[in-house]
Amino acid sequence: MGKEKPGFLTPKAISNRIKAKGLQKLRWYCQMCQKQCRDENGFKCHLTSESHQRQLLLFAENPGRHIADFSREFFRDFMQLLRRHGEKRVAANKVYQEYISDRNHVHMNSTRWCTLTGFVNFLGREGICKVDQTEKGWFITYINRDPDFLERERKKAARKKMDMDDDEIQAKMIEEQIKRGAERAPPKEEIQPTELVRDSEEKIKVELSAAVTTEEKKPIVVAPLFLKIDEKPKLGMKLMEKKKTALDEIMEQEETRKEKQNRKENWLHENIVVKIITKKLGAQYNGKKGIITKVENDFTAYLKLIEDKTKIKCDQSHLETVIPAIGKKVMIVNGAYRGSEAVLKKLNESRENCTVLISSGLHLGRTLDIPYDDMSKLYQKE
């Protein structure tokens, strides 16, 4: 009789399960049979087994297809792990160690890449990742080609460039103020010391207070100029431009600061009306208007269509603002006055902006010119 197998809870059975649970040597693994052997003798026995010979016959029929399938599966799982690191620069071996921690992964010796270096060079040649080699090994950076991600990166770069321009303008304005202040300051008179010359017998008298005559105290009276109503100014008359005061300059600086602070990539707000500008959600929804009922993660909006009350989840890049009729309420969704409610007063088509009157908050009653993209119609129950 053959030798009986050890029971499930015997030390031998537990030891075998512990050994089988961990990773074994790669050269004793058969990818076609998906079997891992613990030593060289076991691997030789497996190679001579009938099940392995059947798998070899299947592989011999079309070896290219099997290798392509294994390579495709290895590439898919490896890239899925790499995407978790985002666009950060990460060591290729670190990602590979995460990959092989799964006992049922596809082994690299069954793919068309013999080594990890060859696979990393493949990612660099195909433009899938940025690849660089250092003393610590190969490093890779995933290149995200998602359209929504690229659009956000483009807006972020444009916003950064605009901030740099604002900083340059502010620095130039401060420099001009310093220059203007230096010109207005009275010139400093240099006092040169003189030698005291006197006779030896003459006494020096010092008077601490001098009498002020009545003529010196006479005020200067400036007669005002009056212009008759029927008189017209001559064509050659030059009108003096009003110079900016220090208060005006401080207000301009405050406006610039608020613009930089409140200008953000996301502009979605609840209770505003927006328009769908994509066919990805379905051609029937393209051009439809809806009300934002909820904003998630700053860039995702939940809409309720005005026409048929359908509820849709949509990304910010697939939406645009809506300009209402004159006299209707709007919300400023971006810029210095972000979140303020206003009333539309005028459309300035040549300048692509609107004149609005702030109707709530600290800036109540203020009139501003707001670009089309920085404002949207505010939903009001009729």
Domain tally, the chain: 3
* Residue 333 sits in the same domain as residue 370: yes
Q: Tell which wins on pLDDT, 6 or 98.
A: 98
376 found inside a domain: yes
Q: Which of 276, 304, 322 is the last residue of a domain?
A: 322
CATH number at residue 48: 1.10.10.2030
CATH number at residue 298: 2.30.30.140
Q: Write the pLDDT tens digit of every residue in 192-244.
A: 677 666 665 666 666 655 444 444 444 444 444 444 444 444 444 444 445 66
Query: What is the domain extent for residue 42?
Result: 19-142
User: Per residue in 133-181, pLDDT tens?
Assistant: 888 888 998 887 777 766 777 777 777 766 666 667 777 788 888 888 7
- Alpha carbon distance 161, 360 (integer Å): 32
Within-domain flag for 137: yes
Q: Do 272 and 378 reside in the same domain of the chain? A: no
120 φ/ψ angles, rounded to the nearest 5 degrees: -65, -40
Confidence of residue 36 (pLDDT cuts 50, 70, 90): confident
- Which is nearest to 379 in space by CA: 284, 304, 267, 317? 304
| Lowest mean per-residue pLDDT among 45-54, 60-69, 213-222, 326-335 | 213-222
Tokens, residue 62:
């079309």
Q: For residues 295 and 360, state if they share a domain.
A: no
Same-domain status, 282 and 367: no
H/E stretch holding 5 reads none
Give the residue-averaged pLDDT of 263-286. 87
